[in-house]
Amino acid sequence: MRHKSKGKKLGRPFQPRMAMLKNMVISLLQYEKIVTTEPKAKELKRMVDRLLAKAKTNDIATRRKLISFLFNNAKVVDKIYTVLMPRFDQQKSSGYTRIYKLGVRPGDGTPTVQIELT
């Protein structure tokens, strides 16, 4: 039974899956759009929405939590607070990302999508 187990496993154990998703979060926040598979994009959307909802409060404790979550990448955290958060509505708690379907990947037929920040 999957009681209290949220999210997809994506064919990986917990720690490699979290490392992959955190690296994808960093890439999405740096470049503001990336191309990936549909299940990965849906999991990524959950993580990014929670992260940006947390970032609405601009205090030192929240900054330190974000830096530790993003593998000590202070440049990305600075971009969140200087570039990204001013263009989002402060009352919004989710919906920071948008997913566009692109079709299937030629090699294995996996559905690919483009995920971007709104």
Domain that holds residue 63: 14-117
Q: Give, in order, the Cα–Cα distances in Å from 78 to each of 22, 28, 64.
A: 17, 14, 11
Say if 6 falls within a structural domain.
no
Say if 73 falls within a structural domain.
yes
Say if 5 falls within a structural domain.
no
Say if 3 falls within a structural domain.
no
For the chain, the domain total comes to 1
Say if 81 falls within a structural domain.
yes
pLDDT at 1 over 90: no
Say if 76 falls within a structural domain.
yes
Say if 53 falls within a structural domain.
yes
Model pLDDT for residues 66-79, shown as the tens digit of each residue? 999 999 999 999 99
- What mean pLDDT is reported for the chain? 92
Q: What is the CATH number of the domain that holds 18?
A: 3.90.1030.10
Say if 82 falls within a structural domain.
yes
**Token pair in block for residue 92:** 């919004």
**Token pair in block for residue 78:** 């600075």
pLDDT category, 93, cuts 50, 70, 90? confident
Model pLDDT for residues 30-61, shown as the tens digit of each residue? 999 999 999 999 999 999 999 999 999 889 99
